Amino acid sequence: MAFKETSGLEVPTDMKLSRLSTPSQISSYIKKLIKATQYEYHESEALEVSEVLLNNPEDRDSIRGTFIISGEDPGIIKSLTPHITAVPVIGEHVVCVEYNGQHYYTSIINRKSSINENAISGVATNFQDDIKFGKKFKRKKTKPIQIEEGSIIFEGRFGQAIHFDNYVREIPSAQLFKPPKTEVEPVIKISTHVDESNGAFRQEKIDNDDSSIYLLSNGMSGLFDTQRVEGKKVLIKSNGIFISGDDVRLGSSVETKIESVVKGDSLKELLDDIFKLEIPKNNATVVKNTASIASLATIQPATPQTVDEIKALTEENNRLIELNLKLEAGIRFGTYLSKTVKTA
């Protein structure tokens, strides 16, 4: 585990110094002696993973493997941090330390600059051409996210990410010809996206990624659903958004400030009965108005009052006919119901 790496030089034993040695001879001897006895102390060592113990009760996320320098098998190696763990796959190299007789691994060594897998098998053991990463793990093309200055990012092996990002917002100056001021605004981006296209990096785009949640303090760069977003916002974008809970509140968490949401299908059953009663009444009124229009049209010469009555009856007929069409569409198709937002 912890080891010393010497310079490889031997301590000089054949160099004779006379009783009248010169200062340069003495200095040269001392330098050779110091250089030969120097060493580098390493309290950690790289290990090649050969087995991953996933869900053993006492050894969850532990591993076994071989030290790359010493060639030793240290036995079961636990994760140093119990709350945040990146589980290695077979063939990856990890940094190991030892505390109180127990070995721990701290992180996966970035051998290939890949977020999917960094396995290089055969460094500490015999090379196997057909080595498997594990029972289920398969190599996948995963593009890392394009980052900016100051970014902090947690990336999964398959396209998931939590990105503590920022964007620079320009504030126009009130003075003529004075350049605008800039403010750095924080943004948290949670996303998952499968991108196997060409290119080295994936650039996050909330409208294009598979599923995203953005937390904004004061807007963001770019557009969301073709529009600019300003101020404090939480943006969610996916093909489907499901919220399950016994008490879901939108707009406020205070009971007295919110109202009940209508159950659309139950409301439609009630409205269908009302619409079916209303349509015949409207048709009867249209027939009555049509007869009145025909009677008024026979009056000659037509007076301004007669013309106004005919106009009013005609407009009412048009309105009732249009209303009946809407009521019939409501009964047949439920045109007033949302097809994208539903509630239990």
Q: 184 forms bridges with which residues in the sheet?
A: 168
275-313 confidence digits (pLDDT tens): 999 999 999 999 999 999 999 888 888 888 999 999 999
Question: Which is nearest to 275 in space by CA: 343, 323, 243, 216?
Answer: 323
The DSSP result for 25-53, as a single string, is: HHHHHHHHHHHHH-EEEES-EEEEEEEEE
Reply yes or no on whether the pLDDT at 169 is more than 80.
Answer: yes
Is the predicted pLDDT of residue 269 greater than 60, yes or no? yes
Q: What does pTM read for this prediction?
A: 0.75
Q: Which tokens in the block code for residue 242?
A: 């499901």
- Minimum mean pLDDT range among 40-44, 185-189, 326-330: 40-44
Q: Kindly give, in sequence order, each residue whose CB lies less than 8 Å from that of residue 154, ignoring residues fewer than 6 positions away.
A: 161, 162, 163
Q: What is the pLDDT of residue 7?
A: 58
Give the Cα separation of 258 and 218 in Å (integer). 26
Q: How far apart are CA 216 and CA 103, in angstroms?
A: 42
pLDDT above 70 covers what percent of the chain?
90
Average pLDDT score over the chain: 88
Which two structure tokens, joined as six digits, stand for 70? 């010493």
* DSSP 3-state of 257: helix
| Cβ-contact 127, 121 below 8 angstroms | yes
| pLDDT exceeds 60 at position 103 | yes
What's the pLDDT tens digit per position in 105-123? 999 999 999 999 999 988 9
What pLDDT, on the 0 to 100 scale, is given for residue 42? 58
Of the two residues 167 and 19, the one the predictor is more confident about is 167
How many other CB atoms are found less than 10 A from the CB of residue 194?
14
Torsion over CA: 200, 204, 208, 211 (sign): positive
> Is 267 strand, coil or helix?
helix
Closest CA to 164 of 134, 181, 144, 188: 188
> What is d(CA 290, CA 75) in angstroms, rounded to the nearest whole number?
96
The region of weakest confidence among 27-36, 198-207, 233-242 is 27-36
Query: What gap in Å lies between CA 43 and CA 98, rounded to an integer?
Result: 8
| Residues 128/122, Cβ–Cβ less than 8 Å | yes
Amino acid at 20: L
Residue 224 has pLDDT above 90, yes or no: yes
Largest CA distance in the chain: 151
User: What gap in Å lies between CA 165 and CA 216, rounded to an integer?
Assistant: 10
- CA distances to 4, 48, 103, 119 from 45, rounded to whole Å, are 11, 10, 10, 17
135 is written with which tokens?
Answer: 């029972």
- pLDDT tens string 41-61: 557 899 999 999 988 888 899
The residues near 331 (Cβ < 8 Å, ≥ 6 apart) are 272, 275, 276
C-alpha to C-alpha distance for 218 and 202, rounded to whole angstroms? 24
Residues 6+ apart with CB under 8 A from 2: 41, 42, 43, 44, 45, 98
Q: In sequence order, what DSSP letters do the residues of 299-322 get, joined into one string?
A: -SSPPHHHHHHHHHHHHHHHHHHH
Residues 1, 98: contact at Cβ < 8 Å?
yes
Residue 281 and residue 92: Cα distance in Å, rounded? 78
